[in-house]
Amino acid sequence: MYRVIAIVGGGLALAACSSTPDWMNLDALKPAPAMDTVRFESTPPGADVKAPNGQTCRTPCALALPSNSPMTVTFALNGYLPESADIEPVSTGIGPPSLRPNPVEVELSPAPPPPKPVKPVRKKKVSTGKPPAKPKPKPKPSATRAPAPAAATTMQQPAPAPVPWPATPPPRQ
């Protein structure tokens, strides 16, 4: 009977190793990375600072960052070009390393104005020899203007030749 209990207990122990609950995780015993508080300032103030680990703040501000490796933080402000700054760990000899420079100061440059939209160039129509689709209406003659002679607007016909004798009078009745 003791053998059966020992075999069942050993089987349960082996099955439990593959599904260890989070509260039994031994990662909690590992030391957390050393942190250092870094202050951020920008000219003009109000820039958004973003660290590689996802932390953000608005200048002037401070963030607690891990001091175990170098990193680059970015500064962004609407109307200004984005800037970045490198932060490196510096060993002090005793204790954990600290991050330098501290404070991180950045001067943001104004962004150039957006380009003006370019108006499209209209292409000129090439004459095909055909009359335009809609002819322009002729102006109406006004009362002060004399009407143009009819002969000027139509093709001129030759004048009749003069007759050397007088015309015959019509017969009388």
- 44 prior amide bond cis, ω within 30: yes
Give tens-digit pLDDT for 139-151: 676 655 555 555 4
Question: Residue 165 falls within a domain, yes or no?
Answer: no
Does 117 score more than 70 pLDDT?
yes
Q: Record the tokens describing residue 22, joined without a space.
A: 């989070």
Question: pTM (2 decimals)?
Answer: 0.51
Q: Is residue 53 part of a domain?
A: yes
Q: How many domains does the chain have?
A: 1
| Cα three-residue angle 151-152-154, rounded to 5 degrees | 65
Question: Is 134 a member of any domain?
Answer: no
136 occurs within a structural domain: no
- Check residue 87 and give its pLDDT: 92
Residue 52 lies in a domain: yes
Residue 152 within a domain: no
Q: Is 55 contained in some domain?
A: yes
Range of the domain at 63: 46-112
Q: Answer yes or no: is 60 within a domain.
A: yes
Residue 108 and residue 43 in contact, taking contact as beta carbons nearer than 8 Å:
yes
